[in-house]
Homo-oligomer: A and B are copies of this chain.
Amino acid sequence: MGVVTDPAAIRVPDVTDDALDRLSQQLEFVQETEKLKRVLRRNLLLDGSRRENSAEHSWSLGILAMVFAEYAPPGTDLAKVAWMVLIHDIVEVDAGDTFVYDDPAVLAGQAEREEAAADRLFAVLPADQAAEVRKLWDEFEDRQSAEARFARALDRLQPMLANYRNGGGTWQTYGVTADKVWGRVELIREGSPELGRYATALIEDAIAKGYLAAG
Residues of A at the B interface (CB closer than 8 Å) are 8, 10-15, 19-20, 23, 26-27, 29-31, 33-35, 37-38, 45-47, 49, 52-53, 55-56, 58-60, 62-64, 66-68, 77-79, 82-83, 86-87, 125, 129, 133, 161, 164-165, 194, 197-198, 201-202, 204-205
Q: Which residues of B contact A66 (CB under 8 A)?
A: 82-83, 86-87, 133
Complex interface: chain B residues within 8 A of A68 (CB): 26
A182 CB → nearest B CB, Å: 15
Contacting residues, chain B, for A53 (C-beta < 8 A)? 56
Q: How far is the CA of A33 from the CA of B31 in the complex (A)?
A: 25
Q: Which 8 A-B pairs have the closest CB atoms?
A: A13-B205, A59-B59, A79-B79, A82-B82, A13-B201, A62-B86, A78-B79, A34-B46
A198 CB, nearest partner CB in chain B, Å = 5
Across-interface contacts of A165 in B (CB, < 8 A): 10-11, 31
Chain A to chain B contacts (Cβ below 8 Å), 15 pairs: A12-B205, A13-B202, A20-B197, A23-B194, A23-B198, A33-B60, A35-B47, A56-B56, A58-B62, A59-B62, A62-B82, A67-B129, A77-B79, A79-B82, A82-B83
Q: Contacts of A205 on B, CB cut-off 8 Å?
A: 12-14
Q: Which of the residues B23, B86, B164, B204 comes within 8 Å of A11, measured between beta carbons?
A: B164
Q: Which residue in chain B gives the minimum CB-CB distance to A59?
A: B59
A20 smallest CB distance to B (angstroms): 6
A46 touches B10 (CB 8 A): yes
Instruction: Give the chain B neighbours of A23 by CB distance below 8 A.
Output: 194, 198
Q: Identify which of B10, B13, B55, B60 contacts A60 (C-beta below 8 A).
A: B55
Complex alpha-carbon distance, A27 and B160, angstroms: 12
Q: A23-B194, A56-B37, A202-B12 are in contact. Are A46 and B31 (CB under 8 A)?
A: yes
Most buried by B among A45, A77, A87, A198: A198
**Nearest CB of chain B from residue A147's CB, rounded to whole Å:** 11
